[in-house]
Structure 1
Amino acid sequence: MSDTPVATPVSFAEFPTVTTAEWQARLARDLKGQDPAALRWHLPDGFSMEPFYHREALAALGTMPLPLPHPQVPWLNVPTLTVEAGDGRDQIDLAAAALRNGADGIHLVLHDAPAFAVHYLAEQLPLASTYVGCTVTAGAADLLGQLVDAAPGTELRGFLRFKSASGPEGAATTDHREELRRCVSLTTGMPDFRALAVNAAFFGDRGATATQQVAFALNAAAALLADVPNEEISAAQVAGALHVHVAIGPSYFLEMTKLRALRRLWATLLHGFGLPEALNGQLRIHAATSSWTQTTLDSHTNLLRHTTEAMSAVLGGADSLSVAPFDSLYAQPNDFSGRLARNLSVLLREESGLGQVQDPAAGSYYLETLTDQLAREAWVHFQRLEAAGGLPQVRGLMQEEIKGAATETFRRIASGQQVVVGTNRFQNRGEQFSFHPKKLLRSATFDVTRATYPTEVLRLATALHFERRERKSKRAAVVLLGINTNQVIMDSFLNLLLPHERPEIAASHPKGTLSLLYSSPEEATLMYATPEQFQRFARFIYQIPAEKQLFIPPTLLSSDMPTLQEAVRVFGFQEMKVQGYTTEQVLARIQGR
Structure 2
Amino acid sequence: MADSKEKLFSDFSPVSTDKWMEKVTADLKGADFEKKLVWKTNEGFKVKPFYRMEDIEELKTLDALPGKFPYLRGTKKDNVWLVRQDIKVSDPLEANKKALDILMKGIDSLSFHIESKSLNAETIQILLKGICAESVELNFSTCQGHVVELAELLVAYFQKEDYDLAKLQGSINFDFFNKMLIDGKEKGNLVQTARALIEATQPLPCYRVLNVNALSLNNAGAYISQELGYALAWGNAYMSQLTEAGIPDTIIAKKIKFNFGISSNYFLEIAKFRAARMLWANIVASYDPECLRDCESKGKEDECRCAAKMKVHAETTSFNLTLFDAHANLLRTQTEAMSAALAGVDSMTVTPFDKVYAAPDELSERLARNQQLLLKEESHFDKVVDPAAGSYYIENLTVSIAQQAWAIFLKVEDEGGFYAAVKAGTVQKEINETGKARHKSVAQRKEVLLGTNQYPNFSEKAGDKKPLDASATCGCAEAPHTDVATISLERAASQFEALRMETEAAAKRPKAFMLTIGNLSMRQARAQFSCNFLGCAGYEVVDNLGFETVEAGVEAAMAAKADIVVLCSSDDEYIEYAVPAFKALNGRAMFIVAGSPACMDDLKAEGIENFIHVRVNVLETLREYNAKLLK
TM-score category (smaller protein): 0.7 to 0.9
Check 1:253–1:123 CA distance in 2 against 1; reply closer, same or farther (3 A cut).
Answer: same
In 1, distance between residues paired with 2:126 and 2:152?
A: 15
Instruction: Tell me the amino acid that sits aligned with residue 133 of structure 1.
Output: N
Match of 2:126 in 1: 120
Question: For 1:74, what is the secondary structure of its paired residue?
Answer: coil
Asked whether the 8 Å contact 2:80–2:382 carries over to 1, the reply is yes
Asked whether the 8 Å contact 2:272–2:401 carries over to 1, the reply is yes
Match of 1:17 in 2: 14
Cα offsets for 1:439-496 (capped at 9, x unmatched) = 54899979961121112211122211246999xxxxxxxxxxxxxxxxxx99x99999
Question: For 1:244, what is the secondary structure of its paired residue?
Answer: strand
Asked whether the 8 Å contact 2:277–2:309 carries over to 1, the reply is no
Tell me by how many angstroms 1:98 deviates: 0.8
Aligned residue among 282, 286, 292 for 1:272: 286
Check 1:225–1:174 CA distance in 2 against 1; reply closer, same or farther (3 A cut).
Answer: farther
Question: For 2:243, what is the secondary structure of its paired residue?
Answer: coil
Asked whether the 8 Å contact 1:122–1:151 carries over to 2, the reply is no
Match of 1:142 in 2: 149
Instruction: Tell me the amino acid that sits aligned with residue 457 of structure 1.
Output: A
Within-5 A mapping of 1:343-492: 343-395=370-422, 396-433=425-462, 435-437=463-465, 440=467, 449-466=490-507
Aligned residue among 174, 180, 185 for 1:167: 180
Tell me by how many angstroms 1:128 deviates: 2.4
Tell me by how many angstroms 1:229 deviates: 3.3
In 1, distance between residues paired with 2:469 and 2:138?
A: 34
Aligned residue among 340, 346, 352 for 1:325: 352
Match of 2:527 in 1: none
- TM norm structure 1: 0.76
Aligned residue among 170, 175, 180 for 1:158: 170
Question: For 2:254, what is the secondary structure of its paired residue?
Answer: helix
Match of 2:528 in 1: none
Cα offsets for 1:326-361 (capped at 9, x unmatched) = 111112231111111111111110110001111111
In 2, distance between residues paired with 1:32 and 1:231?
A: 65
Instruction: Tell me the amino acid that sits aligned with residue 77 of structure 1.
Output: V
**Which one is further off, 362-371 or 413-422?**
413-422
Match of 1:561 in 2: none
Match of 1:257 in 2: 271
Percent identity for Structure 1 against Structure 2? 30
Instruction: Tell me the amino acid that sits aligned with residue 102 of structure 2.
Output: A
Asked whether the 8 Å contact 1:75–1:320 carries over to 2, the reply is yes
**Which one is further off, 221-230 or 417-426?**
221-230
Question: For 1:196, what is the secondary structure of its paired residue?
Answer: strand
Aligned residue among 58, 61, 83 for 2:59: 61
In 1, distance between residues paired with 2:6 and 2:204?
A: 48
Cα offsets for 1:44-63 (capped at 9, x unmatched) = 11222111111111014256
Check 1:147–1:62 CA distance in 2 against 1; reply closer, same or farther (3 A cut).
Answer: closer
Match of 2:105 in 1: 101
Check 1:277–1:401 CA distance in 2 against 1; reply closer, same or farther (3 A cut).
Answer: same
Check 1:328–1:441 CA distance in 2 against 1; reply closer, same or farther (3 A cut).
Answer: closer
Cα offsets for 1:274-305 (capped at 9, x unmatched) = 33351365321000111111111100001111
In 1, distance between residues paired with 2:470 and 2:194?
A: 34
Match of 1:88 in 2: 92
**Which one is further off, 41-50 or 187-196?**
187-196
- Aligned pair 1:33/2:30, yes or no? yes
Tell me by how many angstroms 1:199 deviates: 1.1
Instruction: Tell me the amino acid that sits aligned with residue 361 of structure 2.
Output: N
Question: For 1:30, what is the secondary structure of its paired residue?
Answer: helix
Cα offsets for 1:537-574 (capped at 9, x unmatched) = xxxxxxxxxxxxxxxxxxxxxxxxxxxxxxxxxxxxxx
Check 1:229–1:185 CA distance in 2 against 1; reply closer, same or farther (3 A cut).
Answer: farther
What are structure 2's unaligned runs of at least 5 residues?
Answer: 66-72, 290-302, 474-487, 512-532, 538-565, 567-591, 610-618
**Which one is further off, 319-328 or 32-41?**
32-41
Within-5 A mapping of 1:506-525: none
Asked whether the 8 Å contact 2:220–2:491 carries over to 1, the reply is yes
Tell me by how many angstroms 1:10 deviates: 4.2
Within-5 A mapping of 1:138-217: 138=144, 139-152=146-159, 153-154=162-163, 155=165, 156-164=168-176, 166-168=179-181, 175-188=189-202, 190-217=204-231
- TM norm structure 2: 0.71
- Aligned pair 1:498/2:595, yes or no? yes
Question: For 1:419, what is the secondary structure of its paired residue?
Answer: coil
Asked whether the 8 Å contact 1:239–1:279 carries over to 2, the reply is no
- Aligned pair 1:79/2:85, yes or no? yes
RMSD of aligned alpha carbons? 3.5
Asked whether the 8 Å contact 1:76–1:319 carries over to 2, the reply is yes
Q: Over alpha carbons, which structure has the higher Rg? A: 2
- Aligned pair 1:218/2:232, yes or no? yes
Asked whether the 8 Å contact 1:113–1:136 carries over to 2, the reply is no
Instruction: Tell me the amino acid that sits aligned with residue 181 of structure 2.
Output: P
Question: For 2:418, what is the secondary structure of its paired residue?
Answer: coil
Instruction: Tell me the amino acid that sits aligned with residue 458 of structure 1.
Output: L
- Aligned pair 1:129/2:135, yes or no? yes
Instruction: Tell me the amino acid that sits aligned with residue 45 of structure 2.
Output: F
Asked whether the 8 Å contact 1:157–1:192 carries over to 2, the reply is yes
Asked whether the 8 Å contact 1:266–1:280 carries over to 2, the reply is no
**Which one is further off, 15-24 or 414-423?**
15-24
